[in-house]
Chain A
Amino acid sequence: MITLITILTLFFPIDENIKIIDPWMRPNAKGMASALYFTIENNTEAADTLFKVESDLAERIEIHETYSSGDVMGMREVGMIIVKAGSSFELKPGAHHIMLMRLKNDVKEGDSGEFILHFKNAGEIKITADVRSK
């Protein structure tokens, strides 16, 4: 039995429970706002919820979504993101994003920043995001 499990693990490695893919953020100057984007992959059998993001980069950090009404765009706080079991959720330009308000320093292309993502089940996940102008 142990041999079988070992073989299965070799061929089908167990993923991290919650995987954060390709985190990146936009450049902006001190005092202004930026946005953080990434994809959350939930490899567990239960839904998980991202409810808080922390970083020393900004004075205030909120979970937001961009919405449209005709050709008018707006933005609002959503408080949390629920990722269903065995699925993924993409935070991307023009949609959900992490809003970084009042940057403490200039954030330029090529820089990177550290964040702690808080999930209800997975707990804290530390990530490093590159700064990109795309």
Chain B
Amino acid sequence: MSILVYTENWDGKFKKLSFELVSYAAAIAKEMGSSVTALSIGEVADNELNKLGNFGAAKVLNVNDSRYNSFDNRALSMAVASAAQAEDAKVVIFAHTNLGKAIAPRVAIKLDAGLVSGVTELPSNFSPFIVQKKVFTGKSFTNVQVDADVKVLTFSQNSFELVETGGTAEIVAFDPQLGDDIFATSVKETNKVTGKVLLTDAEIVISGGRGMKGPENWAGLEEMADLLKAGLACSRPVSDEGWRPHTEHVGQTGKIIAPNLYFAFGISGAIQHLGGVSSSKVIVAINKDPEAPIFETADYGIVGDVQKVIPQLIEGIKEM
């Protein structure tokens, strides 16, 4: 019996999220008297795989096969399910990323498992198995009871502290033995965002709304983002107006993020906007209107003009 974690790699490297997943899985394994097996699919070098041991993986199943680079949902779910069966996994954990969300439901069906997506905590109970997740786009939480022998979870980023164990993992090659005909997704073009901090990975996010007045005023936010290694975001009208690319749009209909620190510059704080950012640990609002609803959700605020505040913040950050 084991706990299986699917550790996604990005161009052969693991991000903090993968280590967070393994730490989370290790905490569950401890409670269940089990051990953690990490599954890595794609082309990842052994020294990178070894890092998973330091967060509590006892074993790493390594599927080193470039065919999976097309992210074929059917093939990937077959591979994960066969690893889960080989390891007699009672809990299978994915990240709540595009890829995790795409595969976890399929794997749950294959394993006749119960699925809980977007979990934010360790299970509060193991028999019956009960775990908390976000609902109503962060406006509420619910405890979900899983009534199936196998549980599949997708885990929300930034919900669990990394725990370094100093351990090492046994690395084992694994081959799910899928024929070429299974890989039906034919990728014609891939565009990777490079050189910028990805919004969904960023620990600090700097976001601008209509109060920024126009795309020409973003230089200060970009400078702050560079200094803090932060991601850039915006409200929906800003991307609708074409001031910023739509990939930066956060909120209920855009990206849902949960950084440690979220700066809202000239954003009123509409409920649909908050739906995408309210799980941030600390929210800072800069708005000239003291009645702006964003101040009800923010932890720190300045009532003032963004154009006056931004240069001062940049100065302060440089002095830090």
The judgment on whether A and B are partners is no
B residues with a Cβ closer than 8 A to A are none
